């Protein structure tokens, strides 16, 4: 309300004083002031909505990054497990993570390659003689 009154006073003060021109009626000044006020309010609402959207997108990106990091940790833990079936699940989990996580795809591939290069050490108790 105060902004509208301020705009009205501003437009009223800009009107020529002592001119031979016909003075602008008050309702025209009020209409112009309200239109200007509505434009400023719409611009501020747009800026507010934009900032709110950017904050929401940032929160969603952080949540996605946290979820991908948790998946990476789980897959890496599975690769180091004692049971072969769990290690195989870890290989598939890491491969799927590489498909989903473009920014860290090469890291996932490097982990899989390092896992495949590890020497195989059979369990002597499991061998049949």
Label residue 93 by pLDDT band (50, 70, 90). Answer: very high
List the one residue out of 26, 28, 37, 43 whose CA is nearest residue 3.
Answer: 37
pLDDT at 129: 54
Q: In sequence order, what E strands does the chain have?
A: none
pLDDT, mean over the chain:
87
pLDDT tens-digit readout, 99-122: 999 999 999 999 999 999 998 877
Q: Model pTM greater than 0.85? A: no
CA 112, 81, 68, 70 torsion-angle sign: negative
Radius of gyration of the chain (CA): 34
Q: Are 111 and 90 in contact (CB under 8 A)?
A: no
* Mean pLDDT along residues 21-28: 76
């Amino acid at each position: 309300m105060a902004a509208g009154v301020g705009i009205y006073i501003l437009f009223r003060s800009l009107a020529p004083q002592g001119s031979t021109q016909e003075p602008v009626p008050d309702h025209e000044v009020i209409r112009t002031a309200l239109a200007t006020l509505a434009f400023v309010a719409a611009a501020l609402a747009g800026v507010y909505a934009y900032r709110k959207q950017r904050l929401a997108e940032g929160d969603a990106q952080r949540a996605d990054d946290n979820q991908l990091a948790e998946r990476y940790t789980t897959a890496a833990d599975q690769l180091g497990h004692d049971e072969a079936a769990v290690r195989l699940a870890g290989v598939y989990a890491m491969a799927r993570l590489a498909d989903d996580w473009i920014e860290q795809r090469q890291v996932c591939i490097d982990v899989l390659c390092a896992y495949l290069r590890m020497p195989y050490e059979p369990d002597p108790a499991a061998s049949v003689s």
